[in-house]
Amino acid sequence: MERLPGFRDFYPEPLPARDAWGAEVRQYIFQQWRNAAHRYSFREYDGPPIEPLELYTTKSGEEIVGQLYNFTDKGDRAVALRAEMTPTLARMIAAHERNYKKPIKWFAIPQLFRYERQQKGRLREHFQLNADILGEAAPAADAELIALLIDSLRALKLSREDFVVRLSSRSAWQEFFDRRCADRAKAYEFYQAIDKLERDDAKQSEQKLATLGFSLADVKHFIEAGEPAADLSAVLQDLAARGLGDYVRVDYGVIRGLAYYTGVVFEAYDRKGEFRANLVRLISGGKVNVPALGFGMGDVVLTELLKERGLLPAFDSKLDVFCLIEDEGSRADSLRLIQNLRDAGLSVDYPLVAAKPDKQFKRALELGVAHTARVERVGGDLNVRIKDLHTRAEKVVGFERAAKELAGLE
Amino acid sequence: MERLPGFRDFYPEPLPARDAWGAEVRQYIFQQWRNAAHRYSFREYDGPPIEPLELYTTKSGEEIVGQLYNFTDKGDRAVALRAEMTPTLARMIAAHERNYKKPIKWFAIPQLFRYERQQKGRLREHFQLNADILGEAAPAADAELIALLIDSLRALKLSREDFVVRLSSRSAWQEFFDRRCADRAKAYEFYQAIDKLERDDAKQSEQKLATLGFSLADVKHFIEAGEPAADLSAVLQDLAARGLGDYVRVDYGVIRGLAYYTGVVFEAYDRKGEFRANLVRLISGGKVNVPALGFGMGDVVLTELLKERGLLPAFDSKLDVFCLIEDEGSRADSLRLIQNLRDAGLSVDYPLVAAKPDKQFKRALELGVAHTARVERVGGDLNVRIKDLHTRAEKVVGFERAAKELAGLE
C-alpha cells in the first residue's frame, strides 16, 4: 500500500534513499525557525489544519477553489485543508483581538495543502514559517519581519552567498500604474502579467502588456532602475543599521509574496500590508480593523538547498551511552543504572534481550554511541566500567557516581 | 467566521479564555515528550496527515469508516484524515524495513482525526505521542515502552499520586476465555463486553456475558484477583528493577490500548504485540513480518490534568531584554545593539515606532521582561545603560560589551 501522491513520509536517519525526507532534518529546521522567532519576540500560535472553504473564497474569490484541497465533509460542510495561514490568523485575531496588546508579533509553522488536478509529481503539501506583525504598519515593522526572515536563514548557516531577499514595493508599482493608466479595474491583470515576467517569454509579456496599454520596455526600465520608493528606503535604512543591508536587494520584479514551490529563488518579500489588513476586516465582518504585515517561508526548497550546500548537521549520533549487559544476572542492576542515566538527561540504549558480548558491542558501534557502560559486581561492591569508544580508554567508578560521571563527559 | 466544530485554535499567552488552548503549552508538552523519547533512544518519524482509506479498512474492516474523517478527493480517491499512527508506521516500515537494524525504536507526535456524525461538542482531533518497538516482542520490549510512557509523564512533573499505568494481558484473557468456551468466534464479542464493564451497568454486562456463556461474578473474580500471567510478571520485574514498580498496576479490566478521549483515566497500556505485527504483514501484502509493540498517549486529557494540578510552567516572561529608544536619533545605534543581543541568543523586543519614554517602559513591564537596555552616546563614547527591572539596579557598559554582559545575566 502506498502513500497518497504529493505527500511525504519523514524517516529517521539513516534515510532509506537519497531523495527521502528526514524527520530529524525537519525537526532541526523547525527548531532553528522557532529559536529565531523567539529571539525576535514573536509568540507561537496555531490553528486547525482544516477550515471552512468560505475562509479562502472570502479572500480570493471562487476561482481559488481550483487550487484548494477542498471537499465536502460528513456534515455536508464545504471545507478545505489549510491552504495558507493568513486567513486562519485573521479569523483568530478577529475573535480575540482585544485580548492582546499591540503590536502583536506572532508566528506559526503550519503544514499547508493544495490540490490542482493537472499537477503531476508535484507536492501537495509543505510546511511554512509564518510570521506576522499586527497593529503597526510602519516600514519599521516590515524591517523587523525581513530581519527575522534573514536570521531564520542565517540560523541554518546560510550566508549572503546563498540567498538574497528581494524587496518589492506595492506603492511604487501603484504609482507606476497610475501614472500610465486611469482604469484601476485593469490593475489586477497588469500585476498578473508582471508576476509572470520571469516565466513568460518576452513576446507573450509584450502582448499582454500592450493589451493593457503598457510597453514592456517601459516596465523593464522601471524594474531595472529599481529606484526605492519612500517606504522601501526606510526599510533599507533600518536593515543597514542592523548590519543586514547585504542580505536584501530591491527588485520590482517581485509582485507576490513568497512563491509557492517555484524554482530556486525561494526568498522574496512583498509588502502586502494593505492586503492583510483587509483580510482581518473581511473575516471579522468589518468589526476588526488592524494593519497587518507578514511573510511565509516554505521548507521544501530550503531543505534541498541545505542538503546541496552540505549545511545539515549529522543526525546519527545522538545517543550518549550504550549499556552492555554481559550476563543476565546483572540485568536488574543494569536497568537501575539505565534509569539513573536517563534521569540525568542522558540518551541511553541497551540490549533488550540476552546477546553475546561481541554482538552487543557491534550494536553500540552501529548506534554511533560515545561511551559504553557495564555494571560489575566485585564482592559486595557494585561498580560501573565506562569505556570511551573513541580513545578506547576505560575507567571504573562506583555505581552511584556513574550518572554524574557520564553526564559530565557528554 | 468560525472554525470548524471539534477543532482547536492554539493561542499564545495570555490565553483569551479560561478554556482556550495554548500553543506554548502544547509546545512544552511536545518538547517534554520528545526529550523523554530521546533519552530512551527512540528516533522520530512522521507521515502524511491524510492516507488512503484502504489503510484503515484493511486493518479494521469497513465498519471503521463510520468513525473516520473520510471523504473522496478531487482525484476520486477514497481517503481519510489520519485516524491513528500505527497503519502509517506499518506502511512506512513495510516499504523500507531492510534499511533499519532491529530492534527499531521509533516515535512520532501526530495529529489524529475522527468524525462520528452523532458526536456533538466532542473534539474531532487530538495529538498523540506514539512510540513503537519493532523486531523484538519479548516482555523486555513492553517494559521499555511502559517505562518511556511513565517517564514522559514524569517529565511533565506528574507523580505516582497523579497517574498509574494499568496493565492488562491479552494472553491471560485468552486463557480465561479458552478455559470456559471452545468457540473462538465468540471471543470478539466477549472482549467488547469486558471493555464496557466500567461503563455499562452490572445488569447489562450480566446479560451480555450470559448470552456468551459466561458469568459476571466469574469475570469479576478474575479481574479482582489480577494474578499476573508469565508475560506480565516479566514486565513487572523489569519495571521494579528500574524503580518504576509503583507506577503500574495489574488491571485486567483494561482490554483496549489508550482510550480515545474517554474520561479521566487516560493512562493504560495494553500488550497488543500480535495485533501490530499482523498489521505490518497485512499492509506489506505479506512480505514483511516483524513483531511490533507500541502505545499512544493523547494531549487533551493530559493538558487538562496538568492545568488542574497547576503543573504548567509560566509562559509569559520568555523575553530577556526590552530595548528602550528614547530619541529617534539613537534608533540606528539601537538597532545595531538589538541585532548584537539577538545574535548572542537573547530574546529582544523594542518600540517599532517613536513612543514616549513612560509608554515604552510600560510596554517593557507588560512583556514581563527582566532587563531594559538603552543606548547612550556621551561625547564620542557609545554606551549601554542596563536596568534590572526586579532590583531596579542600573549599570552602564561599553556598547560592544553589552551583549556579553546581558547574555551573562540571563
What does the pLDDT look like over B344-396, one tens digit per residue?
999 999 999 999 999 999 999 999 999 999 999 988 899 999 999 999 999 99
Residue B131 near chain A (CB below 8 Å) = no
Residue A1 near chain B (CB below 8 Å) = yes
β-partners of residue B79 are B52, B71
pLDDT value of position B291: 72
Find the residue in B nearest to A244 (Cα).
Answer: B339
Find the residue in B nearest to A22 (Cα).
Answer: B45
Each residue's pLDDT tens digit, A300-342: 988 988 998 899 998 876 799 999 998 999 999 999 999 999 9
Q: Compare B271 and B74 and report the one with higher pLDDT.
A: B74
Is A319 in contact with B75 (Cβ distance < 8 A)? Answer: no
d(CA A350, CA A338): 8
And the C-alpha cell for A278? 483587509
Instruction: For residue A47, give the DSSP letter.
Output: -
pLDDT value of position B405: 94
Percent of chain B beyond pLDDT 90? Answer: 58
Nearest to B349 by CA among B330, B328, B327, B368: B368
And the C-alpha cell for B13? 499567552
d(CA A190, CA A205): 10
d(CA A170, CA A274): 9
Residue B65 near chain A (CB below 8 Å) = no
A273 falls in which pLDDT band (50, 70, 90)? very low
Is B46 in contact with A40 (Cβ distance < 8 A)? Answer: no
> What's the pTM?
0.91
d(CA A83, CA A69): 8
Instruction: For residue A3, give the DSSP letter.
Output: P
Residue A265 near chain B (CB below 8 Å) = no
Residue of B54, B100, B353 lying closest to A136 (CB–CB): B353
Residue B4 near chain A (CB below 8 Å) = yes
State how far residue A93 is from chain B, nearest Cα, in angstroms: 10
ipTM for the predicted complex comes to: 0.90
Is B16 in contact with A335 (Cβ distance < 8 A)? Answer: no
Residue A339 near chain B (CB below 8 Å) = yes
Residue A333: φ, ψ to 5°? -65, -40
Q: B344-347: long-range contacts at Cβ-Cβ below 8 A with a sequence spacing of 24 or more? A: B344/B403, B344/B404, B344/B406, B344/B407, B345/A39, B345/B407, B346/A39, B346/B320, B346/B321, B346/B403, B346/B406, B346/B407, B346/B410, B347/A38, B347/A39, B347/A40, B347/A41, B347/B318, B347/B319, B347/B320, B347/B321
Is B26 in contact with A46 (Cβ distance < 8 A)? Answer: yes
State how far residue A302 is from chain B, nearest Cα, in angstroms: 19
State whether the Cα torsion A203-A206-A211-A212 is positive or negative: positive
Residue A41: its chain B contacts at CB < 8 A?
319, 347-349, 367
Is B1 in contact with A52 (Cβ distance < 8 A)? Answer: yes
Residue B44 near chain A (CB below 8 Å) = yes
- From chain A residues 373-402, the ones with a CB under 8 A of any chain B CB are none
State how far residue A31 is from chain B, nearest Cα, in angstroms: 11
* Mean pLDDT score, A47-75: 92
Is A332 in contact with B103 (Cβ distance < 8 A)? Answer: no
Each residue's pLDDT tens digit, B158-170: 988 888 887 777 7
CA distances from B362 to B141, B359, B371 (A): 55, 5, 13
Is A38 in contact with B147 (Cβ distance < 8 A)? Answer: no
Sort strands A111-113 and B268-269 into parallel, antiparallel or unpaired: unpaired
Buried b (16+ CB within 10 A) or exposed e, A156-176: bebeeebbbbbbbbbebbeeb
Phi-psi region of A392 (alpha: psi -120 to 50; beta: other; left: phi over 0): left
- The answer for residues whose C-beta is within 8 angstroms of residue A113's C-beta and 6 or more apart is A49, A68, A69, A80, A81, A82, A83, A124, A125
Residue of B16, B319, B331 lying closest to A99 (CB–CB): B16
Find the residue in A nearest to B154 (Cα).
Answer: A343
CA distances from B406 to A38, A39, B22, B295 (A): 16, 14, 29, 44
- The answer for residues whose C-beta is within 8 angstroms of residue B125's C-beta and 6 or more apart is A48, B6, B7, B8, B111, B112, B113, B114
Nearest to B127 by CA among B14, B19, B279, B21: B21
In total, the C-beta contacts within 8 angstroms joining chain A to chain B are 245
Contact A239, A247 (CB under 8 A): yes
